[in-house]
Structure 1
Amino acid sequence: MVVGICRSFRDRALGRCFHFFPCLSDPARRSSLGLKVTLVTLHFIYAGILFLFDGDLVYKTKKEPWYTSLYLLLFFVTLVQYFITSGSSPGYVVDAMRAFNETNEVISGLEQRQSASSKNGSLDATVEGCQSGRIFQGSNSASWTKLVMDMYPPGTSIRTCICSYCNVEQPPRTKHCHDCDKCVLQFDHHCVWLGTCIGQGNHCKFWWYICEESALCLWTAILYITYLKGNISRAWWKDGIMIILLIALLISVIFLLLLLLFHSYLVMTNQTTYELVRRRRIPYLRGVPERVYPFSKGVSSNLYDFCCVGSRIYSLEPLPSAEEIEEKSRPYTCLDVLTCRCC
């Protein structure tokens, strides 16, 4: 009887908790929330212990406040970038479909107004409608299925483009994420620490977060090493705590720097982690030579698209033609280097 009362009390407490915090009712979201709390807590532990143990740093803060202010600014910006990245959309196909359909509805309304104004002989409305028609030319009669099929080579079956889980037409470079249960445009990977996928919509934010996190961890490691150099053997228990934290921090720095270099390489070649790792299993990459990057437009163009155009999370890329693949397979010559073909 006591066990039943305890279970009833626990169920009621959990029910009230899930009512006020719906995200806790989902095990996946609850696990993601726990990882986020853990990561933020580790940041505050590392910074707190540093200021608690290092008296020289506190003295330096009073003498040169700009140094500590820059460190705290980087600390704050890194956490803000973390939450911005984790809360951003990677670019879901269903959202792209919805935006495309809404755009078609707006275009249809403009065409109807243009037609009506032409019949009524309204000169001003006709001019405005013609201008709008030039802006939206080519998309007023298209459907999502036709738009997706035009991005694949002729003869591609529509069945090979439909996701078996979402039942939607997938544009090229799209993959279904089983953790998010949605198809993601230019899917890179699912980050458990962020609790979201990395795709076309937030890959740039993810790169900046890695860059800021790497700089913060490297700066913190330097401060830890400086403390150990000046205060070694003063208090053994403090030294033990600092050494254990420093070892874990150095491992994190190495991992973050390698991750930053890896994603920088992906950005400059316009690839994703999924395309690089599963290249032989992806149908549209099977016939492409190993060292050929089919979606690359040159380093400068890739960086521009990643930093500027990448914020438009619904920009779709068609598959390159056989002629374009052959052109990119051609080895570089001295003339290509002088004309900046690689850029």
Structure 2
Amino acid sequence: MTIRYSCGRVRDRCYNAFPCLSDPARRSSLALKAALLMLHLVYAGVLFLFDTDLIEKTKREPWYTALYLLLFVATLVQYFVTSGSSPGYVLDAMRYVNDTNTIFGKISTPSKQPASSKNGSTVITVEGSQLGRNLLGSNATSWTKLVLDMYPPGTSTRSLTCTYCNVEQPPRAKHCHDCDRCVLQFDHHCVWLGTCVGLGNHSRFWWYICEETALCLWTGFLYITYLRVNISRAWWKDAIIILLLVILSISLIFLLLLLLFHSYLILTNQTTYELVRRRRIPYLRGIPERVYPFSKGLCRNLYNFFCVRSNIYELERLPNAQELEEMSRPYTCLDFLRCRCC
């Protein structure tokens, strides 16, 4: 009992000194981050500790090791930046839209005019275009009108409202039960990052996977080079290197598959949730399997994903019936000449 009481007091003091440790979810997230950091340090440390040839090569060609260490640091920095970035939450987007409309309404409404006047208007940026909307003097909020405008006419707000957050969800949004918040363009909840991957950080997530894959490839090449030169010199060193190389190979296969999968999602402008649960998502049920409703062509999808996505509150509307019919039309040789696929 005394030992248990002492451990409890020590634990309470740790929680008081570090409030983030009092939350079990944050504790497991911090533990995973620490484990990933230690795993990277172990692989690099064992390499430089065992491989004397690499140290000699570093003295002759310091740029080679400098590039490796630069990739090593860049991968860890990208990981922590991605894990600390916001995926884009629906509640934050709703506040942003309503605050923007309120400010714009105050500017565009004369000071002597009452607040209920219908002369004020607001402009919201959606998919790069500015849509003027008369939102003042209406019972519905700016966010509700914006969300309804992204769905086909006749859609009810009751079917769009999240039962947990009590907020209207735009297309591609989903409630994450791990984060307990609705996420814009929800892809998945990443356990290793400790956060969701969504509209705000999907690009950072792809770059992290790319850098991690390159680092694993380079590290595996260095481990194989060491075994080829120093095999049978010290059996216990060879055993450690082989064990680490097996784990690294499994991780590399997983990373390559993940990189290829998310590259495919980028090219077709899809998310993991939309691909896996397509038949269960209401706004995708009536769309043919080979039609990607949010795709704008390969080149445009790549450009929007890597170059344009500066606003984490950028929203995409559902295509109308005419646009869906155009997307479902088979490609012809003339379409390829016109770069329809791009």
TM-score (norm 2): 0.92
- State the partner residue of 1:124: none
> Aligned ranges for residues 228-239 of structure 1 at < 5 Å?
228-239=227-238
Bigger Cα displacement from structure 2, 9-18 vs 65-74? 9-18
User: Following superposition of structure 1 onto structure 2, how do residues 1-343 of structure 1 map, counting pairs within 5 Å?
Assistant: 3=1, 5-112=2-109, 115-116=110-111, 137-138=132-133, 141=136, 143-343=142-342
- Give the aligned residue type for 1:291: R
SS of the residue corresponding to residue 280 of structure 2 reads coil
Structure 1 portions without partners, runs of 5+: 119-128
* Cα separation, partners in 2 of 1:58 and 1:22, compared to 1, 3 Å: same
Q: Which residue type is aligned with residue 175 of structure 1?
A: K
Deviations 1:8-27 (A, max 9, x none): 33222222211221221111
Q: Which residue of 1 aligns with 2:127?
A: none
* SS state at 2:315 partner: coil
Query: How many Å separate the matches in 1 of 2:147 and 2:132?
Result: 17
C-alpha separation in 1, matches of 2:314 and 2:149? 14
Moved over 4 A (4+): none
Instruction: Give the drift of 1:176.
Output: 0.5
Count of aligned positions: 328
1:81 corresponds to which letter in structure 2?
Q
One-letter amino acid matched to 1:42? L
Following superposition, the deviation at residue 138 of structure 1 comes to: 2.5
With over 3 angstroms needed to count, the CA separation of the structure-2 counterparts of 1:139 and 1:67, relative to structure 1, is: farther
| Contact 1:107–1:140 under 8 Å retained in 2 | no
The structure carrying a bigger helix percent of its residues is 1
Where 2:196 maps in the other structure, the secondary structure is strand
Distance 1:139 1:315, change over 3 A: farther
Q: Which amino acid aligns with 1:143?
A: S
Structure 2 counterpart of 1:325, which letter? L
Deviation at 1:336, TM superposition (A): 0.3
In structure 2, distance between residues paired with 1:109 and 1:15: 50
For 1:57, the aligned partner's letter is L
**CA–CA distance in 1 between the matches of 2:111 and 2:194?**
50
Provide the alpha-carbon RMSD of the alignment. 2.1
Distance 2:184 2:131 in 1: 23
Query: Any stretches of 5+ residues in structure 2 without a counterpart?
Result: 114-119, 125-129
- Partners of 1:10 and 1:104 lie apart in 2 by 54
Task: Out of 240-249 and 17-26, give the one that drifted further.
Answer: 17-26
Distance 2:286 2:206 in 1: 30
Give the CA deviation at 1:101. 1.7
Where 1:13 maps in the other structure, the secondary structure is: helix
* Distance in 2 (alpha carbons) for counterparts of 1:138 and 1:148: 13
Q: CA deviation at 1:117?
A: 9.1
Q: Give, in angstroms, the shift of residue 140 of structure 1.
A: 5.1
How big is the shift at 1:305?
1.2
Aligned to 1:154, what secondary structure does the other structure show?
coil
Q: Is the 8 A contact 1:104 1:139 kept in 2?
A: no
